[in-house]
């Protein structure tokens, strides 16, 4: 039985905002199927009453003082932007014609 189908891989790629070719979809399906099959050995373990570990240290709700701080200067931030205009980062049109 396969764990992940070609269609699912294409769906996941779309969710992850990756464009993949038909060839890549085939290759990734095979590889991901092998990895997921391998991962299913976890089902050998009974975890019915086991709490999940989201954080290995006993820490929660780390707050800082609510003090106003200056952000990064705009001209610095724009240095790495692929395209910008009038101090704003520029992207192609979001809404089509």
Partner 1 sequence: MSLFDYKVSDLHELLHKKELKVADLVEESYKRIAQVDDKVQAFLTLDEEKARQTANSLDEKLTANSANSLLFGMPIGIKDNIVTKGIRTTCASKILENFNPIYDATVVQKLQQQETVTIGKLNMDEFAMGSSNENSYYQKTRNPWDLERVPGGSSGGSAASVAAGEVLFSLGSDTGGSIRQPAAFCGVVGLKPTYGRVSRFGLVAFASSLDQIGPITRSVEDNAYLLQAISGLDPMDSTSANVDVPNFVSALTGDVKGLKIAVPKEYLGEGVTEAVRQSVLDALKVLEKQGAVWEEVSLPHSKYALAAYYLLSSSEASANLARFDGVRYGYRTPNADNLLDLYKNSRSEGFGDEVKRRIMLGTFALSSGYYDAYYKKAQQVRTLIKKDFEDVFEKYDVIVGPTTPTPAFKIGEKIDDPLTMYINDILTIPVNLAGVPGISIPCGFDNELPLGLQIIGKHFDEATIYRVAHAFEQATDYHKKKPGI
Give the footprint of partner 1 on this chain (CB under 8 A).
Answer: 4, 8-9, 12-13, 15-20, 28, 31-32, 34-36, 38-45, 47, 50-57, 59, 62, 64, 72, 76-77, 79-83, 89, 91-94, 96
- Backbone φ, ψ for residue 36 (5° rounding): -70, -40
CB 26 to partner 1: min, Å: 13
Q: How far is residue 82's CA from residue 37's CA, in Å, rounded to a whole number?
A: 40
Measured from the CB of residue 37, what is the shortest distance to partner 1 in angstroms?
9
> Nearest distance from residue 96's CB to partner 1, in Å?
7
Q: CA angle, corner 66, sides to 69 and 81, nearest 5?
A: 40
HSE toward the beta carbon, residue 31, CA cutoff 13 A: 6
């Amino acid at each position: 039985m396969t764990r992940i189908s070609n269609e699912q891989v294409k769906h996941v790629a779309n969710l992850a905002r990756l464009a993949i070719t038909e060839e890549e979809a085939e290759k990734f399906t095979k590889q991901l199927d092998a990895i997921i099959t391998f991962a299913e050995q976890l089902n050998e373990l009974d975890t019915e009453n086991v709490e999940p570990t989201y954080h290995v240290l006993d820490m929660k709700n780390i707050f800082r003082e609510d003090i106003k701080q200056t952000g990064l200067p705009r001209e610095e931030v724009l240095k790495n932007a692929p395209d910008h205009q009038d101090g704003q980062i520029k992207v192609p049109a979001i809404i089509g014609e």
